[in-house]
Chain A
Amino acid sequence: MWANINILWEAPGFLVDLLANGLLIGSIFALAAFGMALVWGVMNIINIVQGEYVMLGGFVTFYLVQAGIPPLFGVPVAAAVLFILGWGMYRVVIHRVVDKDMFISILATFGISILLAQLTNELFGSDVRTVEAGLDTLQFLDGMVSISEIKLLAFVLTLTIGLTLWLFLKRSRLGQAIRATAQNPRAARILGIDTDRVFAATYALNAALCGAAGALVVMAWAIHPYIGLPYTVRSFMIVVTAGLGNIGGVVVAGLGLGALENLAGFVLGAEFQIAFVFTLMVVILVLRNLLLRRQRKYLK
């Protein structure tokens, strides 16, 4: 560990590399977490399927590329396909658990996540898949810092989507309906908002955002049917840190998590990278609870 810190001390260029790469990685985590923040905030559902939607977005992109379509089209197409899937999932399962106890919705989405992972494995096999986006890498500081353009693209895309989402929630009619429903579904219903449609739209939007993230994951790393859970866990963490429905907070928390995780992987060794994520989650949950207790609230 000290040897690793020493490297960073002697060649701070690598620290820049770690943090820059970490921030870019974090942007993809943030993209997958936007939807969770929405669904959690609006529908009071912790969506465990999050990671599977990311994985499916990756598969959609992979098969598009197999069919000869340029990889970058995968981002909108995966989002569209996942939007439809999300809408369908709402109509079949999720609408039954919206008003129920949170435990039931966790159980239901956990079930869907297992089902989707297994189905993908059955249908497409367990091979690891990846897509070459055909983009290059930018190098700085004598090659010490290297930033791949695909991750840069992910970063820009996340910020753009975040901003659009924020504007959408603030300005558009559906956005306002979503916010109204989040505040008080019953009151919203009395005022003539079709909350069922709002829920469906929110859930489908979440799946679409995950799909876009998945398209980026398959271009930046690799996917296989069981890759989902780590993305769910990270999304959960980001949302817990940021607070429900807080789009700006999700971006900041996502970037922070990416940077810290990458740094931890370097300093503590890769074997502690995931352990670090979980430990951080516990720390954040405890801290949040303490902060909330001051206001006589508690973490739900």
Chain B
Amino acid sequence: MQTKPVWVKSLSGLFLGLGLAMTAPLQAAETITLGAAVSLTGKYSTAGNHTKKGYDLAVKLINDGGGVNVGGKKYQIAVKYYDDESTPARGAQLAERLIKQDGVKFLLGPYSSGLTKAIAPVTEKYGVPMVEANGASRSLFNKGYRYLFAVLSTSEQYLQSAVDLVAEVAKSNGRPLSSVKVAGVFENDPFSQDIRAGVIDDISRLGLKLVIDDKLPPDLNDMAATLTKVKALKPDLLVVSGHSKGATLAIRQLSEMKVNVPMLAMTHCESAKIHKTFPGKSDYTLCATQWAETMSYRDDVFGSAGDFAKTFEAAYDYVPPYQAAESSAAVLVFADAFTRAGSFDPVKVRDALAATDMQTFYGFVKFDATGKNIAKPMALRQIQGGKYVVVAPVDKAAGELQHPIPTWDKR
């Protein structure tokens, strides 16, 4: 066997020494370990990696700032990750492993509602508090879970702000709310149907009229029939939720069939990249988002929302999607709860979490009895000249709402 030259050995020795020297102070300080099963491979891997980076960045900033103060002592945070391969069954197994084998007492959430749904019963069984940032389905919050906390807005709120907005516009124009017509197109899957439920609640609360309520089968690759109906019934607001495919088809076919609507709101604009695929045609579209970097929230760790975006971009070389932002916020919420609980006793931390009332760069966080965040509204961004501009909620808006959408022959 060939031995390595002396300089290689000494160099590697030097690096080893340096590495030890660098990790030494970390090991000296006490560490609290959070566990997380995140989708690093499989169909959610893109979003799963955003989630992990969000967690990592918050942990790094908290540790760089000296750690968390718990009972008068400073603790560093560490996260133990597993890859759940985007499969719920694996997620549940890994949660069990984190708790029973690795002795982790606190969990950060996985990516997606499906995975969160699989893990929540496990954390509940062992009394392990979980703060999650990527499970928005409302079915997570009607099971009576006590150890589950979500920092994001739940899915039924996604397009409610659009319904509120159309009502506001009608009021300011002196129109009776009962004359405001809303058309909805929702894919026939649990997530989009959650969104539909929220929209319908809001419509009946405000006394608007729902004129179209179409459920698109996931297999269907065509909205022509529904859009002909939109053409005929002339609603004041069209809401569309059907993942990337729904967003893409809606813009494609609205522009192709020259269907005019005064207001158009949808989900998944960003993931469908409609501002890039349909430059010009996608303008005026209102897009629901959990968070935007231009919003005026702030905290002590990251600074403002804009500062978070800068820090994130410096670390990972891309603009943070909201999945990363909400994941960072989840870590901040845990850190805050540790400090207020003054201990790492899961029950005390759970009670501290339940009493959370704070502002982060991501928005306000305050949980109701079911564990969902009720202090942060969904935001609406309008595509204006190919750029996303926050137009609602009004106090966080960065620009004016452009309304009504000009008809196609004038665009």
Interface residues of A (CB under 8 A from B): 4, 7, 11, 14, 17-18, 21-22, 25, 121, 125-128, 130, 132, 137, 139, 143-144, 146, 148, 150, 217, 220-222, 224, 227, 229-230, 262-266, 269-271, 273-275
Contact = CB atoms under 8 A, between A and B. Distances in A.
Given A14-B231, A146-B257, A146-B258, A127 B226 contact: no
Q: Is the interface of A mostly helix, strand, loop or mixed?
A: helix
Top 4 A-B residue pairs of the complex, sorted by shortest distance between their CB atoms: A265-B225, A271-B215, A270-B214, A128-B244
B49 to A, nearest CB: 13
Interface stretch (B160-168, B216-224, B354-362): B216-224
Given A137-B256, A139-B258, 5 more contacts: A128-B245, A132-B278, A221-B222, A222-B245, A262-B222
B221 A273 contact: no
Nearest to B260: A143
Interface residues of B, number: 36
Q: Is the interface of B mostly helix, strand, loop or mixed?
A: helix
Contact of A273 (B185, B225, B256): B225
B224 A130 contact: no
B229 interface: yes
Interface in B217-264: 217, 219-226, 228-229, 231-233, 243-245, 248-249, 252-253, 256-258
A230 B220 contact: yes
Contact of A221 (B221, B232, B233): B221
Given A222-B221, A222-B248, A227-B221, A266 B277 contact: no
A273 B220 contact: yes
A265 B216 CA distance: 10
A148 B256 contact: yes
A125 B271 CA distance: 13
Interface of B: 43, 46, 185, 188, 213-217, 219-226, 228-229, 231-233, 243-245, 248-249, 252-253, 256-258, 271-272, 277-278
Contacts of B257: 21, 137, 146, 148
Nearest to A229: B219
B215 A274 contact: no
B232 A25 contact: no
B238 to A, nearest CB: 14
A273 B225 CA distance: 9
A244 B258 CA distance: 39
A132 B276 CA distance: 11
Contacts of B225: 18, 262-266, 270, 273
22 contacts: A7-B229, A7-B233, A21-B224, A21-B228, A25-B224, A128-B244, A130-B277, A132-B277, A137-B258, A139-B258, A143-B231, A146-B257, A227-B221, A230-B219, A230-B220, A263-B225, A265-B222, A265-B226, A266-B226, A270-B215, A271-B188, A274-B217
Contacts of B185: 270
Contacts of B221: 217, 221-222, 227, 230
- Residue among B229, B258, B277 with the highest chain A CB neighbour number at 10 A: B229
Contacts of A7: 229, 232-233
B164 to A, nearest CB: 26
Contacts of B223: 270
Nearest to A262: B225
B278 A221 contact: no
A14 B215 contact: no
A130 B228 contact: no
A153 to B, nearest CB: 13
Nearest to A268: B225
Contacts of B231: 14, 17, 143-144
A127 to B, nearest CB: 7
A280 to B, nearest CB: 15
A229 B221 CA distance: 11
B304 to A, nearest CB: 31
B248 A270 contact: no
B224 A265 contact: yes
Contacts of A146: 256-258
B244 A271 contact: no
Given A14-B228, A137-B258, A148-B256, A130 B215 contact: no
B244 A127 contact: yes
A139 B256 CA distance: 10
Contacts of B272: 128
A186 B81 CA distance: 63
B217 A273 contact: yes
A269 B226 CA distance: 8
A229 B220 CA distance: 10
B229 to A, nearest CB: 6
- Residue among B221, B226, B243 with the highest chain A CB neighbour number at 10 A: B221
Contact of B217 (A14, A18, A144, A270): A270
Nearest to B224: A21
Contact of A274 (B220, B229, B243, B252): B220
Nearest to B226: A270
B245 A4 contact: no
Contacts of A224: 244-245
A7 B256 CA distance: 22
B245 A17 contact: no
A271 B245 contact: no
